[in-house]
Amino acid sequence: MKILVPYDGSRHARRAVEFVAARTPLAGREPTVWLLNVQPPLLVEIPTAASRRRLAELYAMRADSVLRPARRMLTRAGLDVRGTHLVGVPGLRIARVARSKKVDLIVMGSRGRTAAAGMLLGSVASTVLVHCDNPVLLLRDGEVPRAESLRVGVAVDGSAYGEAAVRWTLAHLDLFGLRPKFELLHVVRELPLQTKTLLANLTDMSFTQEKVRALRRKEYERAVRSTLPLFAQASVPVKKMDLTGEAGEQLAAYARRNLDVLVMGSHGQGMFKAAVLGSVATRVAARCATPLILIRRA
């Protein structure tokens, strides 16, 4: 597994390193961890060959100073660590490295902001998500999960993105520990369910709460039809969990209470859309400090 960890020495970046270092089952599976330090360009009065050489030396010294403690922590965890540094716009450089090295996962801390600020995930994370479709693990302000085996929820909605999230999860089981516990989550929207219930009550006075529950089960089974067999094929036990309400809020609340990691596909939109990640993923990211893995490619 190839993991890219953007690192600038900040508190949020340290959380990303702590997460990877805590995944001890990875150490025996020869993963490669790339530490990437991106620095803003410095100006020089006269761009001579000598000044450019001194500037390159300065960038290298700063990168070594910043990356040293992160490299030490990851090496101590038994991981194969490689460090590099670049100069430029952080989000764009991170996206380019992720694409060129074909990494399986980008792990990064995010200085999340409020919805009113229009940058729920912070500018660097948002730029990365716009400019590359590699899977991204975002760590906010919650506790870094340190258990050897994690509680993992995979959110699906019957779309190709949900199926991609399940396939990615099953292809990278080592990330989640030796004996992880998996749950397959789907949120049944309340309004369509209430509408069906109302119409049924108008035509059939014997409509009961059991029939409402049957509608929920039917909707859940429809949503997991293509993904539940994937767990069976991989011989991985999974718990079925259906929720009701607004998808973003329900997934965030459930993850906070019950999960160490939430995995979901993202119906991503362009940079100038209202929601870069799609409305559900945006709401989850805004409301939940649980580590969130976004699968960008269906």
**Can you give the CATH number for the domain in which 184 is found?**
3.40.50.620
Q: Which domain holds residue 59?
A: 1-144
Whether residue 151 is found in the same domain as residue 130: no
Q: What is the pLDDT of residues 17-73, one digit of tens each?
A: 999 999 977 766 677 899 999 999 887 666 778 878 888 899 999 999 999 999 999
- Name the residue with tokens 């089952």: 25
Whether residue 160 is found in the same domain as residue 212: yes
Write down the pLDDT at residue 18.
Answer: 95
Round to whole Å and give the CA distance between 233 and 218. 22
3-state SS assignment for residue 45: coil
**Of 226, 193, 219, whose CA–CA distance to 207 is shortest?**
193
Domain boundary among 76, 109, 144: 144
Domain boundary among 117, 144, 171: 144
Whether residue 116 is found in the same domain as residue 255: no
Whether residue 275 is found in the same domain as residue 287: yes
Whether residue 101 is found in the same domain as residue 233: no
Whether residue 52 is found in the same domain as residue 200: no
Whether residue 86 is found in the same domain as residue 153: no
What integer is the mean pLDDT of 104-108?
Answer: 95
How many domains does the chain contain in total?
A: 2
Whether residue 222 is found in the same domain as residue 257: yes
Whether residue 62 is found in the same domain as residue 125: yes
**Of 128, 104, 101, whose CA–CA distance to 31 is shortest?**
104
Write down the pLDDT at residue 71.
Answer: 96
Beta bridge partners of 37: 85
Round to whole Å and give the CA distance between 284 and 264. 10
The predicted model scores a pTM of 0.86
Whether residue 170 is found in the same domain as residue 122: no
Is the sign of the CA dihedral 109, 157, 287, 121 positive or negative? positive
Q: What is the pLDDT of residues 267-283, one digit of tens each?
A: 755 444 434 556 788 78
For residues 106 and 148, the model is more confident at 106
Whether residue 25 is found in the same domain as residue 70: yes
Specify the long-range contacts of residues 212-221, CB closer than 8 Å, at least 24 apart.
Answer: 216/188, 216/242, 216/244, 217/242, 219/186, 219/188, 219/193, 220/186, 220/188
The sheet carrying 2-6 orders its strands as 80-87, 32-39, 2-6, 105-109, 136-139, 292-295, 261-265, 151-155, 181-188, 238-244
What integer is the mean pLDDT of 169-183?
Answer: 94
183 token code pair: 């749950």
Domain boundary among 101, 125, 144: 144
Whether residue 228 is found in the same domain as residue 130: no
Q: What is the pLDDT of residues 181-215, one digit of tens each?
A: 999 999 987 655 555 555 555 455 455 566 666 77
